[in-house]
C-alpha cells in the first residue's frame, strides 16, 4: 500500500538538477529525486546482504528522563551503517562495470564497506591507501577480500593514483557522495526504525561531513509520519552542516585536525542532494563539544557494552550535553552508526572520558617522611571507597621542609558527588593538598 502525504511534495521540491562538482568523477550526474519508493526498493534489494539491526530500549533512559531506543548499526559486518548505501550502489551497477571492477581511495568506513560487499558480489575491488594508514585498517581491508595498494603519503596522493588507475583500466572510481542510489540505501535505516519502535516522537542521527544517513532517513521518516522530529548532531569542532545550511551550499573549506579520532565525521563530502533534503526535512541540527562525545562513548560502553567510535557516539552526545531538553518524557530513537575505532584510541578516549566525568582525579600533598604517614593516607582512601590507580613519591625535588615527601595519587571514584566528598575529607586532614584540575 502506498502512503501519500504532504512530504511527497517536500521530497519532490528538494532537488533542482544542480551539476555535480567536476571532482566527483565516480558516479554521475545531475541530482535526482529521491522518493519513498526508491528507499523501499533499496530495502527490498539489500535485505539479504545487510543486517536488520536491533533497535533496543536502553538503560540510559532513566538517566536522561526519556524512553531511549538505540538503533545499533555498528553491528553490521564491517561495523558501519554505510554498508546499506554501498550494497545498493554496487548491486545497481551495470553488469559490464561489475565485471571490470571498482576502486576506492580512503581508509574510511565507506571503503571498508566497498571492500567487503564488492568481494561478496564477486566484483573486483581495489583500495588505495596512503602509507600513513593504520596497519590494522590495511589488514582488515585485505581480509574483506580487496586488493590493497599503499601509495603516497597523503589521502590526496592516493586519490590521484586511484583516478589514474580507474582511467587506465576501466575501473569505476567510487567516492562517497550523495547520489540518489546511495542515499536510498542509507534511508533504509529510517524505515527500520519506524517499523521497530511504535509511537516515535523523535529520531537522532549523527551529521558529520557526510549527512547522507540523516538526509536519506529523514526522507523515509517524514513520508511515513511527518510529526516525527528528525534531529542531526555534529561536532562543534567542525559544524560544517550548520554552516552549509546557513550559506545555502556545501562548505568544503574546513579541515579536521584529528582525522584518526573522527574519521568519517570529518570528511567533507556531502553534496547538494543531502544538503537540500536536510534543509527541507530535518527539524533541527545541533553541535556538541568533543568532551560530550567522549562521555557519550563511555556511557555506551558502560550501559550497553557497545564499543563505538566518535561518529557512533555523536547522537547520544546531544543528550549528554543537554542540547535537547524538549525531548524529556518523549520516545526517542538514536542511531549508533559505527563502531570502528583503533584500540589505542579507544583506551585514550575512555581514560579521558573518566576524567571529564569526574571519576578519575589526581591530587598532591606533602607528608612527613615517616613509616606510617602513607599508610594513614591509604586508610582514608579505603574508608572513602576510592580506588587507588597510581601513587608516586618524590623525595629529592621537594621544596618544603626537610624530611618530607610529596605524594601524588590518582584515584577512581563513583561519580562527581563521590569525588567532592573525597576532596572535602582530604582537605580536612591535609589542608595543603592540591587537586589537579582537568
Look over the chain and give the mean of its residue pLDDT values, rounded to a whole number: 88
Q: How far is Cα 7 from Cα 222, in angstroms, rounded to an integer?
A: 6
Residues 204-227, mean pLDDT to the nearest whole number: 92
Is the pLDDT confidence value at 296 over 80? yes
Q: Which of 21-30, 67-76, 304-313 has the lowest mean pLDDT?
A: 21-30
pLDDT band at 273 (very low <50, low <70, confident <90, very high): confident
Beta carbons within 10 angstroms of residue 438's beta carbon:
12
SS3 312: helix
Is the pLDDT confidence value at 270 over 80? no
Is the pLDDT confidence value at 28 over 60? no
pLDDT at 252: 66
pLDDT band at 16 (very low <50, low <70, confident <90, very high): very low
Residues 327-347, mean pLDDT to the nearest whole number: 94
Tens-digit pLDDT profile for residues 62-93: 999 999 999 999 999 999 999 999 999 999 99
Is the pLDDT confidence value at 437 over 80? no
Percent of the chain, pLDDT > 70?
87
Residues 340-357, mean pLDDT to the nearest whole number: 92
pLDDT band at 369 (very low <50, low <70, confident <90, very high): confident
Q: Which of 222-231, 244-253, 312-321, 405-414 has the lowest mean pLDDT?
A: 244-253
How many Cα atoms sit within 13 Å of 12 on the Cβ side? 6
- 298 within 8 A of 219, measured Cβ to Cβ: no
Q: How far is Cα 356 from Cα 294, in angstroms, rounded to an integer?
A: 8
Tens-digit pLDDT profile for residues 158-214: 999 999 999 999 999 999 888 999 999 999 999 999 999 999 999 999 997 678 999
Q: Which fold has domain 359-436?
A: Alpha-Beta Plaits (3.30.70)
pLDDT at 11: 43
Domain ranges of the chain: 32-252+260-357, 359-436
Residues 144-157, mean pLDDT to the nearest whole number: 93
Q: How far is Cα 96 from Cα 93, in angstroms, rounded to an integer?
A: 8
Q: How far is Cα 124 from Cα 96, in angstroms, rounded to an integer?
A: 12
Q: How far is Cα 280 from Cα 115, in angstroms, rounded to an integer?
A: 33
Nearest C-alpha neighbor of 356 from the set 294, 287, 421: 294
Residues 350-363, mean pLDDT to the nearest whole number: 94
pLDDT at 402: 74
Tens-digit pLDDT profile for residues 36-46: 999 999 999 99
Sign of the dihedral defined by the CA atoms of residues 293, 206, 66, 299, in that order = negative
Residues 87-115, mean pLDDT to the nearest whole number: 95
Residue 265, CA distances (Å) to 8, 227, 374, 399 in order: 29, 28, 47, 48
Is the pLDDT confidence value at 4 over 90? no
CATH code for the domain defined by 32-252+260-357: 3.40.50.1100
Amino acid at each position: 500500500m502506498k502512503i501519500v502525504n504532504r512530504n511527497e511534495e517536500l521530497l519532490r521540491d528538494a532537488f533542482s538538477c544542480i551539476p555535480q562538482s567536476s571532482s566527483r568523477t565516480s558516479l554521475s550526474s545531475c541530482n535526482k529525486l529521491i522518493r519513498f519508493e526508491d528507499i523501499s526498493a533499496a530495502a527490498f534489494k539489500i535485505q539479504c546482504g545487510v543486517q536488520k539491526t536491533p533497535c533496543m530500549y536502553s538503560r540510559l533512559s532513566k538517566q536522561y528522563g526519556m524512553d531511549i531506543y538505540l538503533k545499533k548499526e555498528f553491528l553490521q559486518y564491517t561495523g558501519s551503517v554505510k554498508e546499506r548505501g554501498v550494497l545498493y550502489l554496487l548491486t545497481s551497477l551495470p553488469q559490464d562495470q561489475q565485471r571490470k571492477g571498482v576502486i576506492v581511495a580512503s581508509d574510511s568506513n565507506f571503503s571498508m564497506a566497498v571492500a567487503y560487499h564488492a568481494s561478496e558480489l564477486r566484483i573486483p575491488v581495489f583500495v588505495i591507501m596512503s602509507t600513513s594508514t593504520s596497519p590494522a585498517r590495511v589488514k582488515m581491508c585485505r581480509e574483506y577480500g580487496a586488493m590493497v595498494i599503499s601509495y603516497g603519503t597523503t589521502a590526496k596522493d592516493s586519490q590521484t593514483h586511484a583516478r589514474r588507475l580507474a582511467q587506465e583500466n576501466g575501473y569505476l572510481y567510487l567516492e562517497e557522495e550523495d547520489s540518489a542510489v546511495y542515499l536510498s540505501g542509507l534511508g533504509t535505516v529510517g524505515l527500520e526504525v519506524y517499523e521497530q519502535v511504535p509511537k516515535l516522537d523523535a529520531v537522532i542521527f549523527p551529521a558529520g561531513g557526510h549527512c547522507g544517513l540523516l538526509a536519506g532517513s529523514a526522507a523515509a521518516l517524514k513520508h511515513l509520519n511527518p510529526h516525527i522530529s528528525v534531529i542531526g548532531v555534529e561536532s562543534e569542532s567542525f559544524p560544517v552542516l550548520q554552516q552549509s545550511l546557513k550559506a545555502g551550499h556545501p562548505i568544503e573549506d574546513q579541515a579536521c585536525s584529528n582525522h584518526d579520532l573522527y574519521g568519517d565525521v570529518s570528511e567533507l563530502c556531502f553534496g547538494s542532494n543531502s544538503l537540500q533534503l536536510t534543509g527541507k526535512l530535518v527539524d533541527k541540527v545541533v553541535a556538541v563539544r568533543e568532551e560530550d562525545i567522549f562521555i557519550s562513548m563511555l556511557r555506551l560502553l558502560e550501559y550497553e557494552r557497545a564499543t563505538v567510535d566518535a561518529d557512533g557516539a555523536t547522537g547520544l552526545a546531544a543528550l549528554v550535553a543537554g542540547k535537547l531538553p524538549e525531548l524529556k518524557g518523549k520516545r526517542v530513537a538514536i542511531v549508533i552508526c559505527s563502531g570502528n575505532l583503533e584500540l589505542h584510541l579507544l583506551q585514550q578516549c575512555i581514560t579521558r572520558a573518566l576524567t571529564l566525568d569526574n571519576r578519575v582525579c589526581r591530587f598532591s600533598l606533602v607528608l612527613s617522611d615517616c613509616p606510617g604517614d602513607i599508610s594513614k593516607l591509604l586508610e582514608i582512601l579505603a574508608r572513602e571507597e576510592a580506588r587507588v590507580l597510581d601513587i608516586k613519591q618524590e623525595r629529592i625535588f621537594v621544596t618544603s621542609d626537610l624530611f618530607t615527601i610529596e605524594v601524588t595519587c590518582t584515584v577512581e571514584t563513583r561519580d562527581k558527588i563521590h569525588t567532592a566528598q573525597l576532596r572535602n575529607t582530604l582537605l580536612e586532614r591535609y589542608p595543603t593538598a592540591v587537586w589537579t584540575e582537568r
